[in-house]
Amino acid sequence: MIEQVAEPLQQQGFAKVVLELEVNNHPGVMSHICNLFARRAFNVEGILCMPMSDASRSRIWLLVFEDQRLEQMVLQVEKLVDVLSVRRHGAEHEVFERLEKYFH
Amino acid sequence: MMQMTGAELIVRLLERQGIRTIAGIPGGAILPLYDALSGSDIIRHVLARHEQGAGFMAQGMARVSGRPEVCFASSGPGATNLVTAIADARLDSIPMVAITGQVPLSMIGTDAFQEVDIYGMTVPITKHNFLVRSAADLLEVIPQAFRIAMSGRPGPVLVDIPKDVQNQIVSFDAYPEPAVPDSMPVPDMAAIESAAKMIDEAERPVLYLGGGVVHSGASRLAVTLAEQAGLPTTMTLMALGTMPIDHPLSIGMLGMHAARYTNFILEESDLLICVGARFDDRAIGKAAQFCPNAQIIHIDIDPAELHKIKTAHVAINGDVATVLEALLPRVKQSLRKRWLSHVDGLKSRFPMAMPGRDDPRTHYGLVHAVAAALDNEAVIATDVGQHQMWVAQAYPFRRPRQWLTSGGLGTMGFGVPAAIGAALSEPDRTVVCFTGDGSFKMNIQELATLAEEGLNVKIVLMNNNSLGLVYQQQNLFYGKRVFASKYRGEPDFLKIAEGFGIAAVDLDSSPNPRATLAQALQSRGPCLIHASISREEFVYPMVPPGAANTEMIGG
Ligand SMILES: Cc1ncc(C[n+]2csc(CCOP(=O)(O)OP(=O)(O)O)c2C)c(N)n1
Ligand SMILES: [Mg+2]
């Protein structure tokens, strides 16, 4: 959807982190989030987004590397008006693992 | 029950929000809104000559008033022409609401005439943006746009409104309340206590003020803190004026074109108290070598600025004024004689050299002569280039919001329309715009707006017939390979001004430039003041790209 605006820094070798975002569900929210990561040259390994049971909100799952810029990245995400909350999980979180069979 | 079109609703909401002047240019997709605006007795429309000009006029109004101001543009090219002014507002944290017309909802995504995805385009350069999908949504979106623009760290918000939404009839019971800023975060008192302790215990502290002090209206508190704790105080480009330049504790602007002594004092400091600043690369040079021996206290309303470039020992998220107010009673009175006399020693050993400052035919002399003819009530705007840096170095700024400059984006073409905006907002002040011949040509069409409005704007054109700052860089850092920075032709700026119906004086041909200048500044109304500046005059001293702030050349 969004072109990568800068070559992301080499992140291989860093641990992975799963971010769980709760956001307002309206067109444009995804572009605010993807654009933010892209323009800060921060690679998003995996992304998953579905409306929540209360359809006015969506949940977004992001798989990212935990490099030293992650802290700053999360602070920037939290500033987005449509982002209601951000939670961090370890890579052991099963959300992406269970999807892996669709990517082989 | 009230009933009106979306366009009328927008105008009523803007009126209720306190908006009195809007700059813009109409076009097909925003005509319903213009039609509604024509019926307003409260809002005055200023017809710009280019949407970028309209954007900078809104900025100029916002920069002097501190309130969010509005610009209008049509869809497609009208909207894309606003982009630079929006990006500029973002980088300097200027509150602004840009309203653009869009093709009708049903045509979005069809490559319709004058359709561009301005919503998508402005995602990375706005604080937030909206594409409005029904007239009823305006009841929420317009107040939200203002609330977001003015809350916390201010910034630009774009509202894109399809033409059919402007025409749609909406019924509602009552107007929403005009937006007010969100309440500020409650600062961490324990952190404030530790900050106070660090200030009391420091031997060589420096106070470092940024644009946040202006936005927060905290300059008096910052000066009080400096006086109470004996803190030499430096300001970023954005903060000039927050402490009067002739205050005994002022050590002037820091960074790339600071006086040497300023950067040397910072180098020696053991505590840096950063208030509403963001450790920008032009201010701090090589980050790793900036204030190498200092602990850092960082106060900012934006939590993402804390620890971003430099890790702070004490970081306080909060409104600068609120935090300073809480800090003041906790900080001991201190004369700090030893450090301050050392600071004075550095000041006299490595002062800012200003050759020609008494000769109004030189760059520094001209800046001084303008200052001498004005009082502190005047507003000083600039464009971008050498002339901007000379004004920053030499003009005696003494109050916040006296100084309007494009800091973060460094946009040539900012000056004239921003000065017009300032004058629209505060018509009784004299507004001076120092410009360069390159920058002036980037929004020169706004001379027509200026003439029409008859505002008290004085344009001081420092003409070196070149992109001086580029010429300087090529001479210093690209083996003197001067390329694409000298103009071959030279327009007659006096005739251009005359053609637009604006009075002009030429200091070059005046037998008494000081008197000619003073007279031009004192008579009311717009005026172009032309002065040639040698192309071989460079901005010194200077931190070369990539160097530490202490490795300055020249001056
Ligand atoms: C819109 C824009 N384009 C290009 C630049 C790069 N740039 C920075 S300063 C400068 C030269 C400015 O020339 P002028 O306005 O004549 O000022 P001078 O340096 O000669 O005083 C240029 C081209 C810029 N800052 N903004
Ligand atoms: Mg020039």
- Written as one string, the DSSP assignment of B457-478 is EEEEEEE-SB-HHHHHHHHHHS
Percent of chain B exceeding pLDDT 90 equals 100
Tell me how far the alpha carbon of residue B437 lies from the centroid of ligand 1, in angstroms. Answer: 9
ipTM of this model? Answer: 0.90
C-beta of residue B490 within 8 angstroms of C-beta of residue B532: no
Mean pLDDT (whole number) for B101-111: 97
Mean pLDDT (whole number) for B416-429: 98
C-beta of residue B416 within 8 angstroms of C-beta of residue B459: yes
Percent of chain B exceeding pLDDT 70 equals 100
Which pLDDT does position A8 carry in this prediction?
A: 62
Percent of chain A exceeding pLDDT 90 equals 72
Assess whether pLDDT exceeds 70 at residue B61. Answer: yes
Assess whether pLDDT exceeds 60 at residue A5. Answer: no
Q: Minimal Cα–Cα distance from B475 to chain A, Å?
A: 30
Residue ranges of domains in chain B, CATH in brackets: 2-170 (3.40.50.970), 189-349 (3.40.50.1220), 363-532 (3.40.50.970)
Mean pLDDT (whole number) for B425-448: 98
Mean pLDDT (whole number) for B241-248: 98
Q: What is the mean pLDDT of chain B?
A: 98
Task: Report yes or no: A4 at the B interface, CB cutoff 8 Å.
Answer: no
Which pLDDT does position A14 carry in this prediction?
A: 84
The token pair that represents B24 in the structure block: 């813009």
What is the atom index within ligand 1 of the atom nearest the CA of B472? 19
Q: C-alpha angle B294/B300/B306, rounded to 5°?
A: 60
C-beta of residue B537 within 8 angstroms of C-beta of residue B513: no
What is the atom index within ligand 1 of the atom nearest the CA of B535? 20
Confidence of residue A1 (pLDDT cuts 50, 70, 90): very low
Q: C-alpha angle B154/B159/B161, rounded to 5°?
A: 170
Rounded to whole angstroms, how far apart are CA atoms B539 and A73?
Answer: 36
Which pLDDT does position A9 carry in this prediction?
A: 64
Q: What chain A residue is nearest to B309 in terms of C-alpha separation?
A: A72
Q: What chain B residue is nearest to A27 in terms of C-alpha separation?
A: B131
Q: Which residue has the higher pLDDT, A12 or B417?
A: B417
Assess whether pLDDT exceeds 60 at residue A2. Answer: no
Domain map (residue ranges) of chain A: 16-103
The dihedral built from the CA positions of residue A24, A30, A34 and A39, taken in this order, carries a sign that is negative
What residue type is assigned to position B32 of the chain? Answer: P
Assess whether pLDDT exceeds 50 at residue B489. Answer: yes
Q: Maximum Cα–Cα distance for chain A, whole Å?
A: 38
Confidence of residue B323 (pLDDT cuts 50, 70, 90): very high
Task: Report yes or no: A27 at the B interface, CB cutoff 8 Å.
Answer: yes
What is the atom index within ligand 1 of the atom nearest the CA of B387? 21
Mean pLDDT (whole number) for B476-487: 98
Class (C level, CATH) for A16-103: alpha beta
Are A32 and B123 within 8 A, CB to CB?
yes
What are the pLDDT digits (tens) for A19-74?
999 999 998 999 999 999 999 999 999 999 999 999 999 999 999 999 899 999 99
What residue type is assigned to position B274 of the chain? Answer: C
What three-state secondary structure class fits B350?
coil
Task: Report yes or no: A72 at the B interface, CB cutoff 8 Å.
Answer: yes
What are the pLDDT digits (tens) for B515-544?
999 999 999 999 999 999 999 999 999 999
Tell me how far the alpha carbon of residue A33 lies from the centroid of ligand 1, in angstroms. Answer: 33
Mean pLDDT (whole number) for B283-311: 97
Confidence of residue A3 (pLDDT cuts 50, 70, 90): very low
